[in-house]
Amino acid sequence: MTRAISLHNVSKSYAKGVRVVERLSLDIDPGEFLVLLGPSGCGKSTVLRMIAGLEEIDEGELFLDGEWANDLPPSGRDMAMVFQNFALYPSMSSRDNISFPLRIEAPGEDPSPRVDATARMLGIEDLLDRLPAQLSGGERQRVAMGRAIARHPSAFLMDEPLSNLDAKLRNHLRAEITKLTRELGVTTIYVTHDQSEAMSLGDRVAVLRGGVLQQIGTPREVYALPRNVFVAAFIGTPRINLLRGVVRAPLDGAMTISLGKQFLRLPEPLSLDHQLLRVQQGREIIVGLRSEAVRIAKPTSARPGEVVLTGLVEHVEFQGHEMLVHFNTGSRPAVVPELEAPRPARRDRRRRREGGTVLDRIRERAVALRAGSSAVAVLDDPADAGEERPFEPVPPEGRLPGDLIVRTTPDLDLRHGMQVPLLVDIAHMFVFDQDGERICPAPARLPDLAE
């Protein structure tokens, strides 16, 4: 039997009133594989432990198959948890570790048939008589998974089970977990900070930051239509290119986005999304371009919807099947402050009072109060927003080489300092406001993901 799990406005606080989970609502269907994704310390494991009954819920409600379960003890929830550190009993053999919860649940029954069946499923028959100290990390993780599977639970809860393993073994076990959960059809909640795991495993991905749900959707939806700049920057390898820009929308000319030394000219006739950008006239925005949205090609080969930029090669990463090329386009990069931190940094209130109108200060205060806000910091002085400036062939100290990363084939002969024509596919451009919220494509619009 599998299980539906629902969280309604669940919150959790620890010492000194710090909330690690903030009004989280999730509905997980029976048999679904849901991944909780986010940076370390964002509250993912706490959510998992509240579902398992290992942590109390301070506010909100947990429903299991539609029944209120806040006070239900862990033993009554029929769930099995796989921990990050394996949590095997060191003095017990693998067979005894797997059979231990079965002997507790049904003292009079022989657990051997279920242990043997589980061992065959995981390919660990020859490990059953070994102690945990005699096993490798991957073998111990299989035994820990076997202990969970043998119980035939209604839900699996996995707390970063692969994080202590090497990359090759992680990829192998990732495929095994996918196969097993599909065969068993059991509801699975999987916690990870690795977006590659999340994208390859989950039916849906829930992205958290600072205990606040940022977005939930299929891996393709979250990648193709991120709700805010944090989600866009957290998901995708290499990370999305984030560039500061200013919208220029003259009444008698083409609409452009100034990137500093160069600009993006929006194709005419303007799409509905681009028409809505007119309200951003003169304002600073953040342009998001994934590495596959830009290609190296001559301007004469531009396709409809592509516009031309020029870049200086700063660095080339050879990946074998592809290359990642770092370009300097004279643009001004934008960054998500402390992307890997569990919570966004608080803004300096004194600086906020010194400038701006009353409305600006109210607006900034509202953003600061919104937990998990994805406000964007810039690498240069905002006073230079509309100023054209020459290329900087050598990036300032502390800045990553270049401002634009492009994925391309490994057969191109590119060297440092080369000037290369680039074509930007405007249809795959994201635009975020200064608070990090996506404004283009418009939030109400869902693209055709089947294309």
For 167, the enclosing helix (H) or strand (E) is helix 167-184
Q: What is the pLDDT of residues 396-445, one digit of tens each?
A: 444 456 889 999 999 999 999 899 999 999 999 999 988 889 999 987 65
Average pLDDT over residues 378-402: 43
Between 19-23, 164-168, 239-243, 318-322, the lowest mean confidence (pLDDT) is in 164-168
pLDDT at position 164, please?
74
Distance separating alpha carbons of residues 274 and 426, to the nearest angstrom: 10
Domain locations along the chain: 5-224, 229-336+374-440
Between 124-128, 268-272, 316-320, 404-408, the lowest mean confidence (pLDDT) is in 268-272
Q: What is the pLDDT of residues 86-110, one digit of tens each?
A: 888 999 999 999 999 888 888 888 8
Q: What is the pLDDT of residues 326-381, one digit of tens each?
A: 999 999 888 776 554 445 544 444 444 444 555 555 555 444 444 344 444 444 44
Average pLDDT over residues 12-16: 85
Is 83's pLDDT higher than 80?
Answer: yes
Average pLDDT over residues 216-232: 94
pLDDT at position 400, please?
55
The answer to whether the Cα torsion of 208, 209, 210, 212 is positive or negative is negative
pTM of this structure:
0.81
pLDDT at position 390, please?
35
Q: Residue 450's pLDDT band (boundaries 50, 70, 90)?
A: low
**DSSP conformational letter for 357:** -
Q: Rounded to 10 degrees, what is the CA torsion of 33, 210, 38, 220?
A: 70
pLDDT at position 33, please?
94
Half-sphere exposure at residue 374, Cβ-oriented, CA atoms within 13 angstroms: 25
Residue 234 tokens read as 């957290």
Distance separating alpha carbons of residues 357 and 90, to the nearest angstrom: 64
Distance separating alpha carbons of residues 168 and 187, to the nearest angstrom: 26
Q: Residue 384's pLDDT band (boundaries 50, 70, 90)?
A: very low
Could you please state the CATH topology (level 3) that the domain comprising 5-224 is classified under.
Rossmann fold (3.40.50)
Cβ neighbours, 10 Å, residue 300: 7
Q: What is the pLDDT of residues 265-313, one digit of tens each?
A: 998 888 888 888 888 888 899 999 999 999 999 999 999 989 999 999 9
Residue 341 tokens read as 């931190």
Is 177's pLDDT higher than 70?
Answer: yes
Query: What are the residues whose beta carbons fall under 8 Å from the beta carbon of 339, sequence distance 6 or more?
Result: 39, 230, 233, 234
Q: What's the one-letter identity of residue 320?
A: G
